[in-house]
Amino acid sequence: MSQRVVVVGAGVIGLTTAIRLAEAGHGVEVVAAEPPQATTSAVAGALWGPWLVEPRERVLPWAAHTLRVLGELADHPGSGVRVATGVEVSRVSYDPPDWSGLLSDRTPCTSDELPPGYRHGFRYSAPLVDMPVHLNYLLSRLQAAGGTLTIQRLTSLDQEGTDPQAVVVNCSGIGARHLVPDVDLFPVRGYHVVVTNPGLTEFLEADTEDPVDLLAIYPHRDHVILGGTAEPEVWDRGRDDAIAAAIVDRCARLEPRLAKATIIEHRVGLRPTRAAIRVEAERSALGSLVIHNYGHSGAGVSLGWGCAEEVVSLVSAATRATGF
């Protein structure tokens, strides 16, 4: 049965969810305060890997599904996805993360694969997503499936500015803090510096033993994204030259070819973070059906397609139950 659905949010979560709903035959309108290129999703690096998000028993199946879909998209020119190889390294001994079991080619680093001072690491391949390109791909695919995008800031999920008969799917990222409202949701600011590519092809993520100042190198075709930061409760998305210089310095110490790279762009986003990702249905105060899909923190790109499938199931179940 076809259902009219309003998806709030045009980041990676909103667009993947809207695509799957539209491709399942529903009539989909996306309403978003900011267009895709102005979202946190456009800031992500973005390497598949569902770090630090809960609940793990739901996260791992979402991640496995998304890994599969992104792997297939890597074969589509224009999707912005490629399967890249690289290393995750640490100075101290650590257990590989639970999600690394989903990878087909994880191997411990040999000593010549480790940067000076690093003693442990593993080498693997995973989807690496050029987000501005990918978001354009997602929007085009949504429109090809009949979906639309309207730029509008909502002040309530209770159908303000939307069709009262529609199911509302809330993919508003950090915006859910005020829109739901949800005081358990908070921002973890992430800062990325985009530089010219001096010829890198492999990604590198290093354990800095510091939860705020991260170290990641994500090469795309003509540019490299250098990360980063994870600053809880910081809302400011403005440029900060001191933070950018520290990021470039950290990365260039591991990859000296970056020392002379030119800064092209600063990208700053707010990871929507809470104790557990929220994917569930509820009735709003006015009785309409709202399906939440937010709180993906630093892993939205790694989980989006899996969460979208769950939303499609929730919409189908609700449509059958109510005969909407």
Ligand X SMILES: Cc1cc2nc3c(=O)[nH]c(=O)nc-3n(C[C@H](O)[C@H](O)[C@H](O)COP(=O)(O)OP(=O)(O)OC[C@H]3O[C@@H](n4cnc5c(N)ncnc54)[C@H](O)[C@@H]3O)c2cc1C
- Range 298-317, binding ligand X (CB under 6 A): 298-302
Residue 269 near ligand X by CB under 6 A: yes
Report the nearest approach of ligand X to the CB of residue 228 (Å).
Answer: 5
Select from 5, 18, 46, 59 the one that contacts ligand X (CB under 6 A).
Answer: 46
Site string for ligand X, 191-220 (x = CB under 6 A): -x----------------------------
Report the nearest approach of ligand X to the CB of residue 95 (Å).
Answer: 20
Burial of 242 (0-12, 13-18, 19+ CB in 10 A): exposed
Select from 82, 153, 237, 253 the one that contacts ligand X (CB under 6 A).
Answer: 153
Stretch that binds ligand X, among 67-75, 96-104, 107-115, 168-176 (CB under 6 A): 168-176
Select from 43, 67, 81, 217 the one that contacts ligand X (CB under 6 A).
Answer: 43
Residue 41 near ligand X by CB under 6 A: yes
Report the nearest approach of ligand X to the CB of residue 116 (Å).
Answer: 25
Q: How far apart are CA 160 and CA 290, in angstroms?
A: 13
Report the nearest approach of ligand X to the CB of residue 66 (Å).
Answer: 8
Q: Is 262 left (phi over 0), alpha (psi -120 to 50) or beta?
A: beta
CA 150, 78, 271, 170 dihedral sign is positive
Contact present, 174 and 272 (Cβ < 8 Å): yes
Sequence letter at residue 139: L
Helix (H, G, I), strand (E, B) or coil at 219: strand
Q: How far apart are CA 275 and CA 282, in angstroms?
A: 19
Name the residue nearer to ligand X (CB basis): 151 or 259. 151
Contacts of 153 (CB under 8 A, 6+ apart): 33
Burial of 236 (0-12, 13-18, 19+ CB in 10 A): exposed
Sequence letter at residue 70: L
Stretch that binds ligand X, among 18-26, 32-40, 54-62, 98-106 (CB under 6 A): 32-40
Select from 10, 18, 59, 315 the one that contacts ligand X (CB under 6 A).
Answer: 10
Report the nearest approach of ligand X to the CB of residue 33 (Å).
Answer: 4
Residue 12 near ligand X by CB under 6 A: yes
Name the residue nearer to ligand X (CB basis): 223 or 271. 271
Name the residue nearer to ligand X (CB basis): 47 or 261. 47
Biggest CA pair distance of the chain: 63
- Rg (C-alpha) for the chain, rounded Å, is 20
The H or E element containing residue 224 is strand 223-229
Residue 171 near ligand X by CB under 6 A: yes
Q: At what angle do helices 300-322 and 12-23 cross, to 10 degrees?
A: 40
Name the residue nearer to ligand X (CB basis): 26 or 189. 189
What is the contact surface with ligand X in residues (CB under 6 A)?
8-14, 31-34, 39-41, 43-47, 153-154, 171-175, 179, 190, 192, 227-228, 269, 271-272, 294, 296-302
